[in-house]
């Protein structure tokens, strides 16, 4: 109530100040308020009972053939030629999978699902394949041993995330946010701001899921809080694998699979981090403006092209020479990017022929390139952030689609200011 009086008071003051400007702006303001009302009053069109499924007994199962049929696959020449054949471990692994694809798998439509039996590679075996493996950072060892494991059990599911009665209610945009168990506050900021689920302008449905693994042994036990959060908000997906930087391609792979099982008809997917600021309305406007042929082959964000592996063992993105040698394909910065939902089956299929890579954005770039999809740069994605003095300026953010990175407080503030009726940019 108080807020309403405040608003009235503010409007009254504003109108007495500059009547002329006010009348010219009035239409816009009303329009904006209506749109916001739409978002807030219809947070959720499909009534949701607590449908979160918490799978407590961990069943080890082998890969079952998916209920959907994987599409026929061609792996592009530019991708094959772009990754040199040499002695590096990953390069050898890739080209051996490609040979296998060409010799048998491309005749049938069966993916190589049965070829990934999760047998952790022994250190001895690794050592015969990578002479200097003893000099790799310890976490690399975990990554190498787990490279073949592609089917961790799903512990917390949201099977009704994309359920809807009629086809017109198809989800237009799904936010898939990489998070880790302890980032409660970041997730809440996303829920209350740019990741808000519901019906937006022009009847566009938006949904959000957070992608999580298990907390590390060094973290306090957060499982109970996480499952409470999942029941409360119905937007967490939790898989049974150790949530670490090098396991992000695994997270990508299981996310593709989950999408095919649960949300196969989503038009667009935003994949990103939990510490970015996304401008939902600007994203929706951009997606809505695409030509049909762009909309079905979209892979866009801030594109990093002509990058090469970094060889300094002290940095996060270190890739040893004996592991991978060659340039990286153009890839969208992992802070946030957009792609077409209809690419999901092919992405999932092709990801069986591309060995897991320690850097997930590079891996994505490889998958899209293998499908012959061009990475398109969009100036509105600022994964390396913007000028210091602009970082709290809502007007600067109006035309941007994404900035990296913002803490929960900054995200809340920016969002509030951007949607303030007092804002005149
Ligand atoms: C499978 O790949 C080989 C080698 O590239 C090619 O010659 C053959 O035509 C492909 N078969 C199909 C069914 O696409
Ligand atoms: C990835 O997750 C698996 C399963 O929990 C684990 O064995 C492996 O060590 C993890 N890899 C990394 C690099 O953390």
10-residue block means of pLDDT along the chain (425 residues)?
55 46 41 38 38 43 52 94 97 94 76 67 87 92 91 95 76 98 97 97 95 90 95 98 96 96 95 97 97 97 96 95 97 96 94 95 98 97 90 91 94 94 88
Decide the pairing of beta strands 336-340 and 331-332.
unpaired
CA 105 centroid distance within chain: 29
Tokens of 389: 């003095």
Identify the pLDDT of residue 375.
Answer: 98
- CA dist., res. 348 & res. 366, Å (int): 12
Identify the pLDDT of residue 61.
Answer: 36
**Prediction pTM value:** 0.84
Q: Given the structure tokens 């808000």, which residue do they identify?
A: 196
Query: Which ligand lies nearest the alpha carbon of 77?
Result: 1
Query: Which ligand lies nearest the alpha carbon of 145?
Result: 2
Identify the pLDDT of residue 87.
Answer: 96
Identify the pLDDT of residue 385.
Answer: 86
- CA dist., res. 108 & res. 120, Å (int): 28
Q: Given the structure tokens 């600067």, which residue do they identify?
A: 396
Tokens of 28: 């816009």
- Closest residue by CA, ligand 2 atom 6: 242
CA 242 to ligand 2 centroid distance, Å = 5
* CATH tag, 154-380: 3.90.550
With a 6 Å cutoff on the Cβ, whether 102 touches ligand 1 is yes
Identify the pLDDT of residue 111.
Answer: 58
Largest CA distance in the chain: 81
With a 6 Å cutoff on the Cβ, whether 106 touches ligand 1 is yes
CA 74 to ligand 1 centroid distance, Å = 9
Residue 101: CA count within 13 A, CB half-sphere: 20
3-state helix, strand, coil in the chain (%, to 5): 45, 15, 40
């Amino acid at each position: 109530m108080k807020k309403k009086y405040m608003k009235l008071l503010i409007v009254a003051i504003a109108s007495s100040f500059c009547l002329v400007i006010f009348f010219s702006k009035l239409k816009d303001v009303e329009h904006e308020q209506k749109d916001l009302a739409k978002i807030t009053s219809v947070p959720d069109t499909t009534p949701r009972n607590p449908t979160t499924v918490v799978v407590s007994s961990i069943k080890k199962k082998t890969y079952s053939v998916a209920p959907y049929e994987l599409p026929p696959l061609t792996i592009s020449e530019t991708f094959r030629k772009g990754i040199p054949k040499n002695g590096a471990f990953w390069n050898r692994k890739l080209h051996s999978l490609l040979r296998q694809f060409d010799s048998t798998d491309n005749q049938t439509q069966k993916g190589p699902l049965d070829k990934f039996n999760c047998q952790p590679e022994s250190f001895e075996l690794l050592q015969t394949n990578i002479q200097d493996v003893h000099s790799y950072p310890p976490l690399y060892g975990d990554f190498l041993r787990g490279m073949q494991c592609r089917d961790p059990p799903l512990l917390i599911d949201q099977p009704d995330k994309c359920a809807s009665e009629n086809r017109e209610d198809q989800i237009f945009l799904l936010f898939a946010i990489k998070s880790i168990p302890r980032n409660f506050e970041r997730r809440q900021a996303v829920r209350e701001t740019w990741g808000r689920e519901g019906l937006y302008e022009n009847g566009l449905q938006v949904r959000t899921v957070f992608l999580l693994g298990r907390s590390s042994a060094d973290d306090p036990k957060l499982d109970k809080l996480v499952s409470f959060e999942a029941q409360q908000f119905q937007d967490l997906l939790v898989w049974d694998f150790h949530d670490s930087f090098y396991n992000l391609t695994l997270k990508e792979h299981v996310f593709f699979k989950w999408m095919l099982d649960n949300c196969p008809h989503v038009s667009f997917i935003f994949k990103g981090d939990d510490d970015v600021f996304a401008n939902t309305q600007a994203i929706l406007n951009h997606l809505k403006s695409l030509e049909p042929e762009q909309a079905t082959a979209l892979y866009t964000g801030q594109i990093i092209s002509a990058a090469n592996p970094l060889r300094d063992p002290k940095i996060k993105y270190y890739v040893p020479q004996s592991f991978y040698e060659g340039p990286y394909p153009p890839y969208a910065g992992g802070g946030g990017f957009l792609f077409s939902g209809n690419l999901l089956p092919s992405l999932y299929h092709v990801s069986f022929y591309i060995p897991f890579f320690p850097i997930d954005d590079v891996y994505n770039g490889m998958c899209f390139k293998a499908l012959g999809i061009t990475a398109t740069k969009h100036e509105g994605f600022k994964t390396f952030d913007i000028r210091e003095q602009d970082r709290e300026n809502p007007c600067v953010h109006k035309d941007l689609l994404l900035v990296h990175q913002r803490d929960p407080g900054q995200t809340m503030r920016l969002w509030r200011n951007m949607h303030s009726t007092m804002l005149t940019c």
